[in-house]
Amino acid sequence: MTSGGRIKTGADICEAEKSEREVRRTEKPELTFAKRKYPEPESAAQRKGGSIYQMGKIKVETCQIDGLKIITPTVFGDDRGYFMETYNYNDFKEAGIDHVFVQDNQSASKKGVLRGLHFQGKHPQDKLVRVLSGEVFDVAVDLREGSPTYGQWHGCILSAENKKQFFVPKGFAHGFLVLSDYAEFAYKCTDFYYPDDQCGIAWNDPQIGVEWPIPEGMEPILSEADKHRQTLAQQKGDCAG
């Protein structure tokens, strides 16, 4: 029955369902992944001379060091879970990342593990890195000869929650520190891994001065190779950047 005592017709029911659908369409869900705010300060890049812009389904954030880009994908979520594109060539090309990736790598590390600062000398790689599980502090150091930001670094938080990716071009050393109890790290590369071409810089090089978020009293867990890396000033030959 209607409010006026009239028997509901099929048209009344359809109209009511239409109105209900319109209300649902305009109401925002409790959690919309595509618009979710993460804890990192959104103006960090702008404060450091960078910018933020949208390219297709990705948000691109630059910083004070030319070439570095932080990518945030659009995430579509509902009560079943979520879906996102981790890589779309067209969107990345529009963002200036027009590269062919030839190898995908993945690693797992426990809390306190610090891997870096690494690069290949004769076979430099562009890298697109992200975290599948856990959280890391990710760092890139500019080693490009003649660059106005040579020897400077930029760091960002990558996590399974924020789903950000970090594009690190050729000419940079790269490393990360695991902040969570456990982290799985994945990255795409534009050249293959060459075991005899592995170069690195000391993670604590005072000239570079990376501000690793290491808790007081904790020693980072390093590989034997990373324990004995030279500083940037000591680098020679192909491993000089």
CA atoms within 13 A on the CB side of 112: 7
* Number of domains the chain is built from: 1
* 184 falls within a domain: yes
Question: Token pair 């938080």 is at which residue?
Answer: 157
Q: With contact defined as beta carbons under 8 Å apart, do 128 and 165 qualify? A: yes
Q: Which residues pair with 82 in a beta bridge?
A: 77
Q: Three-state DSSP class for 124?
A: coil
Distance CA 167, CA 122 (A): 20
To the nearest 10°, report the CA torsion of 206, 156, 148, 146: 80
Is 87 part of the annotated catalytic residue set?
no
* Mean residue pLDDT across the chain: 84
In a domain, residue 64? The reply is yes
Rounded to whole angstroms, the Cα distance separating 86 from 128 reads 10
Choice among 99, 150, 187, 228 that is catalytic: 187
pLDDT average, residue stretch 225-238: 86
pLDDT confidence band for 100 (50 / 70 / 90):
very high
Which DSSP symbol is given to 113?
B
Q: Does 3 reside within a domain? A: no
Give the pLDDT confidence of 14-61 residue by residue, as tens digits: 454 444 444 444 443 333 333 333 334 333 444 467 889 898 899 999
Here the CATH number for the domain that contains residue 108 is: 2.60.120.10
Q: What percent of the chain has pLDDT over 70?
A: 77
* Adjacent-strand bridge partners of 187: 105, 129
User: What's the chain's Rg over C-alpha atoms?
Assistant: 23
pTM for the model: 0.78
Reference 59, options 44, 49, 74; nearest CA is 74
pLDDT at 50: 81
Q: Is residue 136 part of a domain?
A: yes
Tens digit of pLDDT for each residue in 200-229?
A: 999 999 999 999 999 899 999 999 999 999
Q: Look at residue 235 in the predicted model and tell me its pLDDT.
A: 82
3-class secondary-structure state, position 3: coil
What range defines the domain where residue 128 resides? 13-240
Residue-wise pLDDT for 147-163, tens only, equals: 999 999 999 999 999 99
| Catalytic residue (one of 89, 99, 118, 123) | 118
Identify whether 162 is part of a domain.
yes
**Residue 57 is assigned to a structural domain of this protein:** yes
Report the pLDDT value the prediction gives residue 55, as an integer from 0 to 100: 85
Structure tokens belonging to residue 187: 């990255």
Amino acid (1-letter code) at residue 122: K
In a domain, 1, yes or no: no
Is residue 4 predicted with pLDDT exceeding 70?
no
- What single DSSP character describes residue 223? -
* Residue 187 bears catalytic tag: yes
Residue that is written with structure tokens 């009293």 in the block: 217
What tens digit of pLDDT does each residue of 102-139 get? 999 999 999 999 999 999 999 999 999 999 999 999 99
Cβ count near 205 (within 10 Å): 21
In a domain, 8, yes or no: no
Q: Is 180 exposed, middle or buried (0-12, 13-18, 19+ CB in 10 A)?
A: middle
